DNA sequence: TGAAATATTTCATTTTTCGAGATATCGTTA
DNA sequence: TAACGATATCTCGAAAAATGAAATATTTCA
């Protein structure tokens, strides 16, 4: 968890510092934070003062180390409560993961990339190892191709025009023409696969999530090809579709 | 709580935006945020993108509105579990534990499970399988059933629809119909019990913690049935309620 | 008392933000 | 399908803020 803040956008540096403080569970000294953050002492020093003035951090009685402040506590409570709204969605994924016995995830299209909304891993049920905000390319993932296929022709053209077809494996689709053909097939099938196109040895099957008549997201299962060859993965399609329907409902209202 | 960010140090603006997002009920649009924050549109726009790239915020699939993201959820839990944030509540719990002479704990709902924020044991040193942060199911615990009972009908239905009723003991409730009946009774009573439904030989009584008019958490006492039969456990309800009130206030401040 | 560790201040430089206005896009209605 | 209003996104020069090396002050502890 030694996230250096060097490369963090300045806007987020203050927040990242807070993350370090709460993650440390207990009081932290300026020097420790300096090290954790990988920033020069005066920089951290100034930030701490600002955060303290704002009530986000508190100094320990002895004055040296800092801990979470009242405003931070309040914020955390609000955040957790607001997150609870999403519990049903997560539960749907969890049940799907149990049923198919493999990792499942929920994705959407955002600014020309696939972004992970949520994910449930079966191997490690209680910990979400989803790298926060992780994004994957469109052209080499089941979700990406499916989301792309379901766009209107106009938008699809626009997105494809902006794409760079980076090659990840031997199976990666690396030109627009080939991709268009694939997308047509996907539209016809109403689902998409990733046959080791992004990571060698990993296959994936994705089904569309519809809300209010539009494809808004995508639910997918993936696994090592050794454990789940594509043919077997396809058998999970019915379960995926059931979950997709439930998820779609959860997005309406 | 409509803090204008005009006068906020730039370092904290991003954080203040996050505060607005989690404090709002549900997803927020760019325009709403612009208004809440009192900042020009392009400014908020840029900040949202940075926050989203960082995984702190997420776009809602249907539109362009924004809610808390996975990294923020994780941060919130870390914060609530951090020493300094727990302290004020911990004192209240400790007093309660001394009064009733049994183990007490404070829980919240997170991702469709009960998560322990804190616990105080009187009889035995902290030899716990249930440290703060650990999770237990909803359908077989006093806290879980209480938190579930207090959800809005819509959300409750959704959560229940996706639940898997794992059986832990002979008394575990294992079907939705039965659970619904129990939840109705719980709502009427304003409290819930666990009559050896999770661990054989262990009973529990839970009362709701209300802050700013909503149920935010749950305080409970539990003990071996041999030492404290359910009838006796119920006698602790008044003490639980007093503690619950104090806890609620401590969340508001 | 002195030395080591830690905290704070200074200040010229660099980076980042700022925000008005222009433009693009979306969803809807004629 | 066309056109409209609402909303989102981009552009760019000016202004503000953060930066961090080095110097200085304070605390801690032997």
The larger pLDDT score, comparing residue A168 to residue A250, is at A168
Which of A26, A86, A88 would you mutate first to test chain B, the one with the most B CBs within 10 A?
A88
B13 touches strand C (CB under 7 A): yes
List, in order, residues 6 or more apart from A155 with CB less than 8 Å away: none
Cα separation, B14 vs A135, whole angstroms: 22
**Cβ contact A9 with chain D strand, < 7 A:** no
Q: What is the DSSP letter of A131?
A: P
For residue B179, give the 3-state DSSP assignment.
helix
Quote the pLDDT of residue B3.
Answer: 61
- Which residue in chain B is spatially nearest to A247 when comparing CA positions? B158
H-helix or E-strand spanning residue B110 = strand B103-110
**Amino acid B126: pLDDT:** 45
CB atoms within 10 A of CB B251: 17
Give the pLDDT score at A1: 44
Give the ranges where A38-141 is alpha helix by DSSP (H): 41-53, 70-84, 87-100
Which token pair is A173? 């689709």
What is the three-class DSSP state of B165?
A: coil
Instruction: Tell me if chain A has a CB within 8 Å of the CB of B174.
Output: no
Q: Is A245 left (phi over 0), alpha (psi -120 to 50) or beta?
A: alpha
* A13 interfacial to chain B (CB closer than 8 Å): yes
pLDDT at B243: 97
For residues B196 and B171, the answer to whether their CB atoms sit within 8 Å is: yes
- For chain A, what percent of residues have pLDDT higher than 70? 93
Does pLDDT of A130 surpass 70?
Answer: no
Contact of B133 with B81, CB cutoff 8 Å: yes
Inform me whether the C-beta atom of residue A108 falls under 8 Å from chain B C-beta atoms.
yes
Q: Which residues of A touch B53 (CB under 8 A)?
A: 133
pLDDT at site A3: 62
A211 vs B: CB within 8 A: yes
Percent of all residues in chain A with a pLDDT value above 90, rounded to a whole number: 53
How far apart, in Å, do the first and last CA atoms of chain A sit?
38
Question: Which pLDDT value is given to residue B217?
Answer: 96
Considering chain A, what is the average pLDDT of its residues?
Answer: 88
For every one of its 253 residues, what pLDDT tens digit does chain B have, with 9 covering 90 and above?
446 666 788 889 999 999 999 998 778 888 889 888 888 889 999 999 999 989 899 988 876 789 998 899 999 999 999 988 999 999 999 999 999 999 999 999 998 899 999 999 876 654 556 788 889 999 999 999 999 999 989 889 988 988 989 999 999 999 999 999 999 999 999 999 999 999 999 999 999 999 988 899 999 999 999 889 999 999 999 999 999 999 999 998 7
Mean pLDDT in residue range A208-212: 89
Residue A40: pLDDT over 90: no
Return all residues near A95 (Cβ < 8 A) that are at least 6 apart: A243, B162, B164
Q: What contacts A47, CB < 8 A, 6 or more positions away?
A: A13, A14, A17, B11
B127: CB partners within 8 A, 6+ apart: none
pLDDT of residue B125: 52
CB atoms under 10 Å from CB of B140, counted, come to 24
Q: What does the angle CA B27 – CA B1 – CA A253 come to, to the nearest 5 degrees? A: 20
Å between A96 CA and nearest CA of chain B: 9
Which of B88, B84, B27, B92 is CA-nearest to residue B61? B27
Structure pTM?
A: 0.89
CB contacts < 8 A (A, B): 199
Q: From the candidates A78, A96, A242, which should be mutated to test the interface with B, based on the most B CB atoms within 10 A?
A: A78
Q: Are B171 and B209 in contact (CB under 8 A)?
A: no
Residues A73-129 pLDDT 10s: 999 999 999 888 788 888 899 999 999 999 999 999 988 889 988 888 876 433 445
Instruction: Kindly give the residue spans of alpha helices, DSSP state H, lying in A121-236.
Output: 142-149, 153-162, 176-189, 230-234
Q: What is residue A163's predicted lDDT score, i.e. its pLDDT?
A: 86
CB burial readout B172-205, b (16+ within 10 A) else e:
bbeeeeebbebbeebeeeebbbbbbbbbeebbbb
SS3 A59: strand
B64 touches strand D (CB under 7 A): yes
Taking CA atoms, B156 is separated from A175, B139, B186, B224, in Å, by: 47, 12, 13, 30
pLDDT surpasses 70 at A42 = yes
At A55, is the pLDDT very low, low, confident or very high (cuts 50, 70, 90)? very high
Given its phi and psi angles, is residue B38 left (phi above 0), alpha (psi -120 to 50 degrees) or beta?
Answer: left
Confidence of residue A158 (pLDDT cuts 50, 70, 90): confident
Q: What is the pLDDT of residues A177-194, one digit of tens each?
A: 999 999 999 999 999 999
CA distance A114 to B11: 30
């Amino acid at each position: 968890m030694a996230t250096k803040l060097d490369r963090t956008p300045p806007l987020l540096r203050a927040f990242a510092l807070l993350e370090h403080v709460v993650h440390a569970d207990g009081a932290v000294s300026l020097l420790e934070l300096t090290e954790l953050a990988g920033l020069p002492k005066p920089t951290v020093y100034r930030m701490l003062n600002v955060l303290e003035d704002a009530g986000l951090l508190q100094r320990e009685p002895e004055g040296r180390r800092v801990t979470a402040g009242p405003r931070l506590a309040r914020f955390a409570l609000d955040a957790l409560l607001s997150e609870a709204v999403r519990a049903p969605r997560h539960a749907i994924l969890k049940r799907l993961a149990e049923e198919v016995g493999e990792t499942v995830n929920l994705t959407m299209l955002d600014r020309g990339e696939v972004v992970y909304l949520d994910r449930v891993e079966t191997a490690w049920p209680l910990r979400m190892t989803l790298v926060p905000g992780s994004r994957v390319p469109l052209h080499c993932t089941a979700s990406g191709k499916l989301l792309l296929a379901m766009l209107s022709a106009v938008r699809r053209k626009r997105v494809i025009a902006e794409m760079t077809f980076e090659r990840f494996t031997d199976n990666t689709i690396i030109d627009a023409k080939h991709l268009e053909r694939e997308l047509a097939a996907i539209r016809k099938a109403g689902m998409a696969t990733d046959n080791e196109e992004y990571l060698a040895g990993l296959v994936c099957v994705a089904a569309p999530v519809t809300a209010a008549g539009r494809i808004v997201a995508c639910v997918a299962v993936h696994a090592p090809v050794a454990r789940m060859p594509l043919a077997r993965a396809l058998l999970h399609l019915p379960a995926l579709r059931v979950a997709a329907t439930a998820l779609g409902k959860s997005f309406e209202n």
